[in-house]
Amino acid sequence: MSSSSSSSSSSSLFNHVGSSLLFQVHGNVYPTGYYNVTMYIGQPARPYFLDLDTGSDLTWLQCDAPCVRCVEAPHPLYRPSNDLVPCEDPICASLHAPGHHNCEDPAQCDYELEYADGGSSLGVLVKDAFAFNYTNGQRLNPRLALGCGYNQVPGASYHPLDGILGLGKGKSSIVSQLHSQKLIRNVVGHCLSGGGGGFLFFGDDLYDSSRVVWTSMSSDYTKYYSPGVAELFFGGETTGLKNLPVVFDSGSSYTYLNRVTYQTLTSIMKKELSAKSLKEAPEDETLPLCWKGRRPFKNVHDVKKCFKTLALSFTDGKTRTLFELNPEAYLIISNKGNVCLGILNGAEVGLQDLNVIGAISMQDRLVIFDNEKQMIGWMPTNCDQIPKSKAMNT
């Protein structure tokens, strides 16, 4: 992380650059269950579909090393370069817990990643060329470290993709690596459209910072993009639930609350809805809690008047910022025409006390993680309108 003193002196290094990288995003929360981008990796560069994940750092591909256990994927397995990352490389050290960085073979870096949904990837770190275009049309082919995953266990929310694009704060993240090579500013943002698709960017010149609501990244939850602890509001009234540790995670389709918060919120909602013309639909197993109307719903707009706006309130020094969740940010319409709650009980997937803002609740707004200023920002945006640029990575 650059401190404010060094970031002002290093800013001149970026002036020659077309500064940002822009990527088209595909996918949706429901029914697909994930958002992904295409990356061109290797020599010659080949396309790979990667899961967009701000909740983890390392980017990895299913890899023919040979592969011990790989799952079905859209493209042939990645054939690794023979450019191994050595064990003493700081990127390798960042993937292991302090005190657990043992080098069985000093010439290579083994990794093992486990995800909240029970999935995992085991492999070795290599460096290879990535083919990118700056928004000004200039091409770049940096060599970046990535995981060659030769043993994958699919998790509960298995996505049939070639690998994961880790966009977290750690040294191994693609954004951190591009920044350490002085190719972009250490800023990542995305705009996920409720109708599917959207865009992802690295760098800081694609938005007007003055129109964004900003709050500081927490120094207590350094592993994730976290604005710290929040208070939960329902329909403008406090629920009395406070000090909720919150993280943003685009790799999670749905939003998760800890057990007490989830139970309190769902009982408030059930009470509110008992007076409405909605009935619980336990036979619809799309999500744990669904309701049916007198006739099937076509979209959330049909039913949003029955639901109130939720909000998470963050206190940053003396400033209070609100992250509002209107009904579109926490409901889906299932293929049976029922309305289902896209907020789930995090205790059931092992999240303990953590509350996760997933992709559903970030739809139709620009969400920005500025690692240079240590700020998280958001603003309502039409994510179907991709910023104008001379070149995009599609």
Structure tokens at 253: 């389709």
Q: Are 203 and 185 in contact (CB under 8 A)?
A: yes
Whether residue 364 lies in the annotated active site: no
Nearest Cα neighbor of 56 from 112, 132, 108 is 112
Task: List Cβ neighbours of 314 (8 Å cut-off, separation of 6 or more).
Answer: 215, 227, 228, 229, 230, 246, 320, 321, 322, 323
The question of whether 204 is a catalytic residue gets the answer no
Amino acid at 281: A
What is 154-206 written as a DSSP string? --TT---SSEEEE-SSSTTSHHHHHHHTTSS-SEEEEEE-TTS-EEEEESSSS
Q: Catalytic one among 128, 249, 364, 370?
A: 249
Q: Are 325 and 311 in contact (CB under 8 A)?
A: yes
Two tokens, residue 100: 């657990």
| Strand bridging mode 198-202 / 310-316 | unpaired
Strands (E), 217-318: 225-234, 237-238, 244-248, 255-257, 279-280, 290-292, 310-316
Select from 327, 368, 334, 23 the least CA-distant residue to 197. Answer: 23
Measured over all CA atoms, what is the biggest interatomic distance in the chain, rounded to whole angstroms? 66
The Cα–Cα gap between 103 and 100 comes to 9
Which value, in Å, is the radius of gyration of the alpha carbons in the chain? 21
Residue 352 belongs to what H/E stretch?
none
Catalytic residues: 53, 249
